[in-house]
Amino acid sequence: MRIAIFGTGYVGLVTGTCLAEVGNDVICVDVDASKVERLQRGEIPIYEPGLTPMVIENHAAGRLRFTTDAEAAIAHGAIIFIAVGTPPDEDGSADLSHVIDVARSVGRSLAQGAIIVNKSTVPVGTADLVRQTIAEELGKRGAKVDFDVVSNPEFLKEGDAVQDCLRPDRIIIGSSSAAAVGTLRSLYAPFNRNHDRIVVMDVRSAELTKYAANAMLATKISFMNEMANIAERVGADIEQVRLGIGSDPRIGYHFIYPGAGYGGSCFPKDVKALERMARDLAYEPRVLAAVEATNAAQKERLFELLDRHFAGDLAGRTIALWGLAFKPNTDDMREAPSRNLIERLWLNGARVRAFDPEAREETRRLYGKRADLELCDSQYLALEGADALVIVTEWKAFRSPDLSKIRSALRSAVIFDGRNIFDPQVVEAAGLAYYGIGRGRSVAKA
């Protein structure tokens, strides 16, 4: 099929590449000319496992092209995906300006029938707004062109986006058009062979499904972080509690890991947008407000443990951080807990030595060169001259470290495990003090 995709971020680039991988003719459009040039050279602007070779191979085969020419892409696409960003506005609502810009471009150039697919995460009612915008632009031209607008939300996890696209858990199609649904069924057939993953519903239900999914996952995380904070105060170990409740199939083991709070481009933005949408409809979303407040407080937890351990005397100390990205297998630092911790440490006069396998360049871009920030080439180099080690991101490379090497490198033998990846007894047997999240030990040490 002939596909046009507007946007070459995580969603657009991964979706376009995977559709090209199964034989479709894909053009990806972006307004950033330098980004398009880099993509044409095979330089991928994001780190996502497995993505780079797929982009290079499909571009070389001619199935995947990149352009800034929106008009040519619209002329090419029988199916036109809108996969641009919807960043939070000042009031927390989703900024739809990029989505509407694409809709206007489609209306100004569309000359043949097409299916317009909303892939971006958007508030309920956006498909109607896109349809209206396209129709208005067609009307200005006096053009009569048949088109459908479909909601097809993405469910890609950063770090697993390629596999999520090739082997999706579900494919949501929101449309009242049998013809449009049939075309998308054909498009997604290569990803739908094992069993039928397609769920068809009305457009507004599909738009809400995306927000509801992310809000549910964020709720599970915040709930477990709240339970972890209670566990610390009663002397329980949240990791044992997690195993106890996860064995209940109604709860399950997924997304019940306590930690330093959730970050990234989706959960914080989408929870706020859903909150705002509810309030605009005169409904107070109490659970969503609590989820967001709990997460904001949890991002302060590592600093609180550090500050308490050093009795408020952090000035002049050096803290080693393992992990900067908001999660493993990505270089994304949007809303990352590491940023909260780093900035609080700086405010209190501490220096930071940090290592992350992928996010160092992004950290440099965010903070520039600073005397109180050193980005190291290995996890053990980050320990040199440090007073403490903090685990912020649970990269696999951090799971089985040389504890004796850590002990000898640190000025103060203490680990703050923000992801509970270590066994406290093993760490303490190696001569290091241990602080985890909800391990029932931190309060006793205070």
Which of the residues are catalytic? 266
Among candidates 352, 301, 356, which has minimal Cα distance to 323? 356
Distance CA 427, CA 389 (A): 12
Structure-token pair, residue 134: 């396209």
Distance CA 288, CA 121 (A): 17
Among candidates 336, 358, 361, 332, which has minimal Cα distance to 419? 336
Distance CA 381, CA 142 (A): 66
List all residues 6 or more positions away from 196 whose beta carbon is below 8 Å from its beta carbon: none
Q: What is the layout of strands, in order, in the sheet containing 147-151?
A: 64-67, 25-29, 2-6, 79-82, 114-118, 147-151, 171-174, 198-201
DSSP 3: E
H or E stretch at 343: helix 337-347
Cα distances (angstroms) measured from residue 11 to each of 6, 63, 156, 172 = 10, 18, 7, 15
DSSP 179: H
For 374, phi then psi, to 5°, come to: -125, 125
Which stretches of 251-406 are assigned E, i.e. beta strand?
Answer: 318-322, 351-355, 373-375, 388-391
List all residues 6 or more positions away from 63 whose beta carbon is below 8 Å from its beta carbon: 20, 21, 23, 24, 25, 26
DSSP 94: B
Among candidates 402, 35, 22, 66, which has minimal Cα distance to 192? 22
Residue with tokens 């951090």: 398
Structure-token pair, residue 119: 């892939």
For 393, phi then psi, to 5°, come to: -125, 135
Q: What is the dihedral of CA 166, 172, 175, 179, to 10 degrees?
A: 40
Among candidates 93, 89, 105, which has minimal Cα distance to 6? 105
For 175, phi then psi, to 5°, come to: -170, 150
